[in-house]
């Protein structure tokens, strides 16, 4: 219950407030959003937002059990009921064998999400493999990525199946990691004489509800972030989005309004989201290649985008990057995310 105080005490950080934030996979992005609110409200001039995760265990069931707590644990069947509801909603069968034991239950959620998209919009397993291959290209240039080997579409399709239509490289890996971001007020930035400043234009946190057919938690968070920042999706230079599975990235294109409903497959077919394309997505390699150390992921996205806006990303640099969006979701309520944070950052000249 006092992880932050324990971890930071050895660094000499005491006396000042330390707040522990738990919000499933959106934990450190939520901490970041709360830190932004504190600075904006004038409560503090300097706030540290950090996330860390020790998720790997030799007994994979222990790691998978951690994911199973990101749902309503008062429900006797917990995450399995989430999957059953999704199965009924899209009219696709659910194979319970191995769910939460040999694989994370969230891979079953992503499997059904993928099959729903395939049925509605004509996406294919090949499209999902193209997402992983693209992110492996980005991750091959990221020294922080958990996996740095370059994969072809054929490599991804030939890999071991986790749950149809997902092969192993289409699923974000379990990993340990940490990331931290320091936010300062405008007054403090001037006092410190900071250069290459990056401004938080907006940061929206949305909680899950019983969404209707054309509603999504990510879509609402994106709308709030765009409106607060006074920009639209066409203004973006690059995006880090929550690709916990390859199909999740294609769905993310659509509810972040990088394209219209059902048009996500066109973005991946035309290399629009690859470095050099119209709107590069997951230049870090994304969760699929950089890894998904749950508590650290949100802040890690902010680090990647801050470096992009500062021109510090080396071979992964997006030319002329000026405006960036981070999308990080966590947990499951009903048939959608329990929490989602969308943040928009801009380069200050």
Q: Catalytic one among 25, 36, 171, 299?
A: 25
Q: Which residues of the chain form beta strands (DSSP E)?
A: 46-53, 161-163, 166-167, 177-184, 198-207, 238-240, 323-330, 339-347
Distance in angstroms (rounded) separating the CA atoms of residues 266 and 279: 13
Distance in angstroms (rounded) separating the CA atoms of residues 230 and 244: 28
- Clarify whether 259 is annotated catalytic: no
Q: The dihedral of CA 89, 90, 93, 97: what is its sign?
A: negative
Distance in angstroms (rounded) separating the CA atoms of residues 191 and 113: 49
- Clarify whether 50 is annotated catalytic: no
Buried b (16+ CB within 10 A) or exposed e, 7-30: eeeeeeeeeeebeebebbbbbbbb
Strand partners, 315: none
The number of beta carbons lying within 10 Å of the beta carbon of residue 284 is: 25
Q: Catalytic one among 117, 127, 242, 292?
A: 292
**239 and 282 Cβ atoms separated by less than 8 Å:** yes
DSSP string, 15-52: SS------BTBTHHHHHHHHHHHHHHTTS-SEEEEEEE
DSSP string, 98-118: TBTTTB-HHHHHHHHHHHHHH
Q: What distance, in Å, lies between the first and last C-alpha atoms of the chain? A: 41
Q: Is 266 helix (H, G, I), strand (E, B) or coil?
A: helix
Query: What residues are labeled active site?
Result: 25, 292
């Amino acid at each position: 219950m006092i992880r932050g105080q324990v971890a930071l005490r050895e660094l000499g950080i005491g006396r000042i407030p330390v707040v522990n934030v738990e919000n499933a996979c959106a934990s450190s992005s939520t901490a970041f959003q709360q830190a932004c609110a504190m600075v904006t409200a004038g409560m503090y001039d300097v706030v540290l937002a950090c996330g860390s995760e020790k998720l790997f265990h030799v007994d994979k069931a222990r790691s998978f059990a951690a994911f199973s707590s990101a749902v309503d644990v008062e429900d006797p069947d917990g995450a399995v009921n989430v999957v059953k509801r999704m199965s009924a909603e899209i009219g696709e069968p659910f194979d319970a064998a191995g769910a939460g034991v040999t694989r994370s239950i969230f891979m079953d959620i992503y499997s059904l999400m993928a099959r729903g998209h395939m049925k509605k919009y004509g996406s294919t397993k090949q499209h999902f493999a193209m997402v992983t291959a693209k992110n492996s290209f980005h991750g091959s240039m990221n020294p922080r990525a958990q996996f740095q080997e370059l994969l072809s579409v054929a490599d991804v399709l030939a890999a071991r199946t986790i749950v149809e239509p997902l092969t192993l490289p289409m699923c974000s890996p379990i990993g340990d990691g940490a990331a931290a971001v320091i936010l300062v007020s405008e007054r403090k930035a001037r006092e410190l004489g900071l250069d290459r400043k990056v401004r938080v234009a907006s940061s929206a946190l949305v909680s899950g509800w019983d969404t209707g057919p054309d509603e999504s938690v990510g879509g609402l968070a994106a709308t709030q972030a765009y409106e607060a920042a006074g920009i639209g999706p066409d203004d973006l230079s690059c995006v880090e989005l929550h690709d916990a599975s390859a199909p999740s990235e294609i769905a993310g294109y659509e509810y972040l309004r990088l394209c219209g409903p059902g048009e996500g497959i066109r973005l991946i077919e035309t290399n629009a989201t690859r470095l050099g394309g119209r709107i590069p997505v997951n230049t870090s390699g994304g969760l699929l290649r950089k890894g998904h150390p749950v508590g650290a992921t949100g802040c890690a996205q902010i680090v990647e985008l801050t470096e992009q806006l500062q021109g510090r990303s080396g071979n992964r640099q997006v030319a002329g990057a000026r405006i960036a969006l981070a999308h990080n979701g966590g947990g499951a309520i009903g048939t959608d995310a329990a929490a989602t944070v969308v943040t928009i950052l801009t380069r200050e000249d």
